[in-house]
Amino acid sequence: MSGKRGRLEIVGEILAAIERGETKKTRIMQSVYLGWRSFKSYLDFLLETGLIKENGANDTETHYELTKEGLKVLENYKQIRKLLGGNGNFGY
């Protein structure tokens, strides 16, 4: 990572983390290098816009997964990064 990230990049990184299998709040937050307050506002935004959803009501801890719309947004984000010279990979 270099420089300050914008909102779009952070959203893309969160969606990518969930796609990679990071499904718990703490693991997602750590993988995208955000503090709790910032992460919570992004998490709320993604839930409100329907890009992610809560899963695992029977479990003691909430897990998150991408919705179909969230997967579309992530794929579009990867394509934009490729076109702009990024590699589209988010595995740090």
Mind listing the pLDDT tens digit for each residue in 38-53?
Answer: 999 999 999 999 999 9
CATH 1.10.10.10 describes domain 7-83: yes
| Alpha-carbon separation of residue 36 from 28, 42, 61 (angstroms) | 11, 10, 17
Contact yes or no for 33/47 (Cβ under 8 A): no
Per-domain residue ranges of the chain: 7-83
Mind listing the pLDDT tens digit for each residue in 38-91?
Answer: 999 999 999 999 999 998 766 678 899 999 999 999 999 999 988 887 655 554
- Residue that has been written with the tokens 């703490």 in this structure: 26
Report whether pLDDT(7) > 50: yes
pLDDT at residue 92, rounded to an integer: 40
